[in-house]
Structure 1
């Protein structure tokens, strides 16, 4: 059955389709007062997603006094961003909890250098409102869209396991968000494992509902991942450290100003304001910057072992070998509770 979702779903998907991986590498340099330029000779190549780090740093005023330059590259999701880190095209970038596992499983040259802990409610498996599916166990034999190697991929695996199933019990359709959205809206898949803001976007259409979310089954962590070559460069390493501090301050600003950030995020992504605000309150604004500590490493090792057991990554490895803790000083433990606004509207 073909389902037509409202036009509000289109702008973000079109923007992401236009991104197509590393589609843009915009030099953030320029004259004084543009909010992005530094006077130093160091250029930090930062991987980003639409409405991500650049937008929040700018909104929070954290790009106003840099002493280095930032060159931004935009990606559709974490896995292609980490491919660019491995290729040294990106010095640092933010991803969810699963892309580093797939990258390390392929022995990519990456180093996890920063983390945030947030609500897992935005990590969801959604189904059409008129779907007969009422619980995850009923996904057996059904088709599920998911971006391979994304945080949603592990949420799907973990949710199926909790329901007594495995990924072999469902028909996986590995699709990037824009293609997954199209498949879901046209009734080509029975369910979609996804993350915010897509979760909030689909739910706002009143044509979809949450079958289950990541609460209690995933760790709620996201990471900043750097190229080891950048960390070996004294000046770039210092720039990475400064960049992480600015992200921490910007995240605190988001929590204090959710409406202001939602307005900016709406403009950046094409999402309606109320959808953006829901995503901020459900997931984006709850994040707390935390240390990449032993608990975080152990949690990621569990994800790595899970995908190795399923033979979805080519080898077993020790996740700690891909972690650099030099920027942990002064940060709370990874178990620090996410901030809470209360429940989003849907």
Structure 2
């Protein structure tokens, strides 16, 4: 797994407070443009998998287990790395990949941009794996104190929903905070130098910031956001690659079962590629939940609440029904 680039913080761009309209345009614009272009059809005999540099799919890639499981089916595998869930789902909607994973919010925006999105499986909730951080010496003591402050987060990511829920619970209007849309690398740099007042982030960047900056946690996802990881595909890919996707989910389950009982080994394996020390990764890995399964009614209901929340805020152009995008082996696409 040494072929993956190391994590480096980049300089943060100028910060601003986008309006609801600009949030919607940013979250849906690229995906909608991709959906408006001719979509590449799934290619027989090739499963294209999108992954982020931390998580089960990275381990699957590093161990070559997916290739082993798919070779008897006459498949080869092509891998593509993405910095976060939103661009991965943009690529999925555009037909550039067939399978990938992301947190709660990106699939909502992706489904709003394309009815072809399919949820194929999910991991159990891991609410402690995301949080709102503030600097150690910050005067901010609660979420209510974030009113009028500048908060960094990745646009349309899983932590977007966490922030919305946390603000609502604290009685702070969504419009009462300034949102700085930054990638984890840029947000980490801005947070470290004090250019933002708070940072909403997920593991392993969360564990890294806690260790390197002494950041304080205002809230985690506990009681606010489940922080599930979803495995996602498209109608075309589930039709063309049904057997391959089922085999991939089986392989993911095997990796999960190993990783659950070998967090130190997983951390040592991921550290060179992620660029975060193994002891820090171990903290993050112990906050994960393992065990890939089809979406059950409770999971669909939780995800529907995410969709309804974003629609109520005006961040989705129309209501959507999550259940329409749930795929199972018994369904034809």
Shift of 1:100: 0.6
Shift of 1:55: 2.8
What is the distance in 2 between the residues matched to 1:165 and 1:242? 45
Partner of 1:122: 129
Per the alignment, do residues 191 and 108 of structure 1 end up closer, same or farther by CA in structure 2, a change over 3 Å counting?
farther
Do the aligned partners of 1:128 and 1:207 also contact (CA within 8 Å) in 2? yes
Shift of 1:62: 2.3
1:224 to 225, 231, 241: 231
Moved more, 255-264 or 164-173: 164-173
Q: Which has the higher helix share?
A: 2
For residue 240 of structure 1, give the secondary structure of its aligned residue in structure 2.
Answer: helix
Partner of 2:119: 112
Cα deviation digits, residues 81-136 of structure 1 (max 9, x gap):
11111111010101001111111122353111110113211110011111111111
Partner of 1:175: 182
Do the aligned partners of 1:13 and 1:181 also contact (CA within 8 Å) in 2? no
What is the distance in 1 between the residues matched to 2:177 and 2:55? 32
What is the distance in 2 between the residues matched to 1:159 and 1:64? 41
Give TM-score scaled by structure 1 length: 0.80
2:140 to 114, 120, 133: 133
What is the distance in 2 between the residues matched to 1:190 and 1:130? 11
Structure 2 residue ranges without an equivalent (≥5): 13-29, 31-43
What is the distance in 2 between the residues matched to 1:109 and 1:58? 26
> Does 2:94 correspond to 1:87?
yes
1:249 to 232, 237, 254: 254
Do the aligned partners of 2:9 and 2:186 also contact (CA within 8 Å) in 1? no
What is the distance in 2 between the residues matched to 1:104 and 1:279? 29
Tell me the matched-pair count: 292
What is the distance in 2 between the residues matched to 1:218 and 1:290? 19
Partner of 2:316: 313
Q: How does 1:274-285 map to 2 (within 5 A)?
A: 274-283=279-288
Shift of 1:69: 1.1
Per the alignment, do residues 170 and 182 of structure 1 end up closer, same or farther by CA in structure 2, a change over 3 Å counting?
same
What is the distance in 1 between the residues matched to 2:227 and 2:58? 22
Do the aligned partners of 2:93 and 2:114 also contact (CA within 8 Å) in 1? no
Partner of 2:325: 322
Cα deviation digits, residues 45-98 of structure 1 (max 9, x gap):
001011334431255662462312110111111111111111110101010011
1:270 to 268, 275, 287: 275
For residue 292 of structure 1, give the secondary structure of its aligned residue in structure 2.
Answer: coil
Partner of 1:12: 7
Shift of 1:13: 3.1
Give TM-score scaled by structure 2 length: 0.83
For residue 137 of structure 1, give the secondary structure of its aligned residue in structure 2.
Answer: helix
Structure with bigger RCO (C-alpha 8 Å, 6+ apart): 2
What is the distance in 1 between the residues matched to 2:173 and 2:111? 23
What is the distance in 2 between the residues matched to 1:327 and 1:255? 29
Cα deviation digits, residues 293-313 of structure 1 (max 9, x gap):
221111111110100010112
Cα deviation digits, residues 170-217 of structure 1 (max 9, x gap):
111111111111211121110011111110010011431211110011
Computed over aligned residues only, the root mean square deviation of the Cα atoms, in angstroms, reads 2.2
Partner of 2:214: 207
Partner of 2:81: 74
What is the distance in 2 between the residues matched to 1:114 and 1:322? 11
Structure 1 residue ranges without an equivalent (≥5): 1-9, 22-40, 329-346
For residue 280 of structure 2, give the secondary structure of its aligned residue in structure 1.
Answer: helix
What is the distance in 2 between the residues matched to 1:139 and 1:164? 11
4+ residue stretches of structure 1 with deviation over 3 A? 51-54, 58-61
